[in-house]
Amino acid sequence: MVGSPGHDSSEPPPLPLLNLLAISGSLRAASTNSALIAALAANAPADCRVTVYDGLGRLPIFNADDEGERTPRGAGELIDAVTRADGVIVSCPEYAHGVPGGMKNALDWLVSRDAAVGKPAMLVHASPRSLYARAALAEIMRTMSFALCEGVMLEIALLGKKPPEVEAILAEPANRQAMRGALQAFAAFIRAR
Ligand SMILES: Cc1cc2nc3c(=O)[nH]c(=O)nc-3n(C[C@H](O)[C@H](O)[C@H](O)COP(=O)(O)O)c2cc1C
């Protein structure tokens, strides 16, 4: 008998698991971007594991003098997490038509490393506005040589919503399906590379 127990040999073998690192650009306890990231992790298809990065608020402010051997531990952990990930997902608010400082600071720690080079990345959106930040983030990440997955669009309008309503919106079947669909499309983008 050919094949392994529990696997029908007429079916294609299961795809290897993709490890995706998800970063919210907001530090607010009731952040809608963080809620979206958490919901993506909870709704990931079987072939994707989404790990939420929670170190944004502990990163020191980027200083190019502190790279190399002097890299602070938190920045080193971020660099390692991005290096290990098969892909990176970012959900980020807009502040004053720009990218919030905490998010830009995290990206700055990755600029002169190899971690971002060719790394698949996808932007997802918790606000129907934030068009300046979306464009700026895409430009920054392309400049850093992330491989930005631009064909997938996930936007769930959570702007101004408070936690109970945010959870209810994210639990709607159509939104869960949209999240799964976006992750499946991102996984296909990663696997095609
Ligand atoms: C300091 C500050 C500046 C903001 N500036 C903008 C802006 O320029 N454009 C916009 O669409 N929203 C702006 N907003 C609204 C936030 O982007 C919005 O509340 C977002 O949903 C917050 O994300 P969070 O829930 O993940 O914290 C601003 C909010 C703050 C606190």
CATH assignment at residue 161: 3.40.50.360
Ligand 1 pocket mutation pick from 127, 131, 158, 169 by most atoms within 8 angstroms of CB: 127
36 is in which domain, residue-wise?
A: 18-192
Q: What angle do CA 168, 171, 173 make, to 5 degrees?
A: 125
Taking the CA of residue 25 as reference, the ligand 1 atom at the shortest distance is 26
Instruction: Kindly state if the Cβ of 33 falls inside 6 Å of ligand 1.
Output: yes
Secondary element (H or E) of residue 79: helix 73-84
Instruction: Kindly state if the Cβ of 32 falls inside 6 Å of ligand 1.
Output: yes
Instruction: Please give the share of the chain, as a percent, with pLDDT higher than 90.
Output: 92
Instruction: Kindly state if the Cβ of 95 falls inside 6 Å of ligand 1.
Output: yes
Name the closest-CA residue to atom 3, ligand 1: 95
Q: pLDDT tens for residues 50-101?
A: 999 999 999 999 999 999 999 999 999 999 999 999 999 999 999 999 999 9
Taking the CA of residue 98 as reference, the ligand 1 atom at the shortest distance is 8
Quick check: 150 and 121 in contact, CB under 8 A? no
**Measured between alpha carbons, how far is 89 from 33 in angstroms, rounded to an integer?**
11
Mean pLDDT for the chain overall: 95
Asked whether residue 149 is domain-assigned, the answer is: yes
Name the closest-CA residue to atom 24, ligand 1: 31
Asked whether residue 75 is domain-assigned, the answer is: yes
Total count of domains within the chain: 1
Asked whether residue 38 is domain-assigned, the answer is: yes
Asked whether residue 123 is domain-assigned, the answer is: yes
Asked whether residue 112 is domain-assigned, the answer is: yes
Tokens of 95: 């502040």
Instruction: Please give the share of the chain, as a percent, with pLDDT higher than 70.
Output: 95
Q: Please measure the distance between the N-terminal and C-terminal CA atoms of the chain and give it in whole angstroms.
A: 35
